[in-house]
Amino acid sequence: MSTVPERSELAEQHKWALESIFESDEAWREQFETVSDRVDELTAYEGRVTESPETLLELLELREEIMREVSQLAVYANLRASEDTRNQEYQALSGKAQALSSEASSATSYIEPELQELTEADIEEFVDSEPELANYDQFFDDVLRAKPHTRSAEVEELLAELGEVTSSPSEIYSMLADADMTFPTVEDPDGDEIEISQGNFTKLLKHEDRAFRKLVHEEYYDEWEGVRNTVGTSLKKQVRKDVKVARARHYETAREAALDGPNVPVEVYDTLVDTVRDNLPKLHRHAELKQESLGVDELQPWDLYMSLTGEEGPDIEYEQAKSWIIEAVAPLGEAYQKRMAEGLESRWVDVYENRGKRSGAFSSGTYDTQPFILMNYQDDISSMYTLAHELGHSMHSELSAEAQPWHDAGYEIFVAEVASTVNETLLTHHLLETVDDDELRLHVLDEYLERFRSTLFRQTMFAEFEQQIHEHAEADQPLTPDVFDELYGDLKSSYYEPASVDDHIQREWQRIPHFYYNFYVYQYATGISAAVAIVEGIRQDGEAGEESAAAYREMLRAGGSVYPIEALELAGIDMTTPDPIESALSVYGDYLDRVAALL
């Protein structure tokens, strides 16, 4: 019987090195008390932000010192909680860290409203008087840009204090999906019993036995049906929270508020949706190729994850995946490649699934720590690509922190998803060009097409769904599980026109945690579009390719010192036009032709 192991059964080298942040939980608690006592130091400057250039610099430096310590406490607690969401001790630590973060945010909430009493000319005078303030140019620009949407110091303090409460829908959903829900055990065609989990669900849907895939599909979504009202309520509350916070800040829509944070024009979102919509026939062709390769009369939802070969891909063990990924990033330069290799040997990665572990994958860390990557590695091609993806995020953080001061090191998701997808694209080219194994090459080609399908098309479909449910809330229309089913089912039918849409797949919205991230998912789609264009430049011969790689590294090192659209311009990409999206879709079409010829 295949079961998910307890964490204690996993080898130490496959667990992330959280002791590099705090050597013990007791050390964390001691630091927590120290930092908690320091938060009040920040309130002493309230009403004095613009008193003098010297006072402003003193405050900003104190804020950095305390916030860096708060971040380390929060990351350690959250990563420990992610290891096993059933562990109440670590859930308590995470709750304490979140409360402290909220307290620290509240204690500094007066800074922006007070700064916004100044004009650009006033800021220039401050910088002339205290030159070290010039290091905060981007921060000052961002603060003044947000002036129309910043409330009084009193209201800002209240909104900051409510942060712990307004995050409740996401936290409740996570505890339900990762800690409380358990899925059935099913018998595979060989007679082995396999426990379905959040980590292995999509892998099981790649099994060559169609009846088994259908069984997994139905059993998994039947379990979600049992918590339908709970998940529907949590998503409704998340959407209404987004809308109310946007209105509190004088935005017309929640989407406008979400995109204004990173200063991304709303037109970028609309251009993405419109361009992908215009190219849905390419996705339909992909589905038709799957139908033909499987030899079925009608493509069903449990067929969508299947390889175009009609077989499961070969097993790829973690050590092999690491080796191929390191080799693949060679075009980004020796220093980049070496840094990644060292990180993989320094326990950046928490590799395998265990009971209670948070599902999915992510890259985390702070300015003062190494990166930490959560994986649920399944010894398959998809897991290898996910590892490459998260390593892209981690390397982005490493280069940004190395080049930028703390207040400019944090970058927006809009550029983060470019860094992750560049690594995926480089991995594809490397494997297709170097691995002498026709079966593996075909599966790699298929996986890359799947990445296009799931990243460019699927995430754009998610973006449409997210926009629709927020528009419902903004129009004071009801948001119920039935409404979510109807909206999601209609989109699924439109995007996957050749495939059947059953009542199980209409409930797929229930299992997508990203809907709690407030207009997050569209950035996966813009990210892959920009990444494909960047890699095309890097793969040029000779000096042109080296210059493109250098420009890309400059983009990574820029961190948050420029806005996302400007950062991509450093790498030669203009996301305010449909050109990168159309270019990526053209590559997708070319690869479909290539696979069709092979099949």
Provide the residue type at 239 as one letter.
Answer: V
Tokens linked to 129 = 């008087």
Residues in contact with 216: Cβ distance below 8 Å, sequence separation at least 6, in sequence order: 186, 196, 201, 204, 205, 207, 302
Query: Quick one: which H or E segment has residue 351?
Result: strand 349-352
CA 521/CA 558 separation, integer angstroms: 23
Contact 367, 304 (CB under 8 A): no
- Whole-angstrom Cα Rg for the chain: 24
Query: Quick one: which H or E segment has residue 187?
Result: strand 185-187
Find how far residue 425's CA is from the centre of its chain. 17
CA 458/CA 586 separation, integer angstroms: 17
Nearest CA to 583 out of 389, 452, 396 is that of 452
CA 433/CA 444 separation, integer angstroms: 11
CA 90/CA 29 separation, integer angstroms: 12
* Residue that is written with structure tokens 């350690």 in the block: 76
CA 586/CA 421 separation, integer angstroms: 17
Q: Which of 103, 156, 157, 390 is catalytic?
A: 390
252 is a catalytic site residue: no
Which residues have a catalytic role annotated?
390
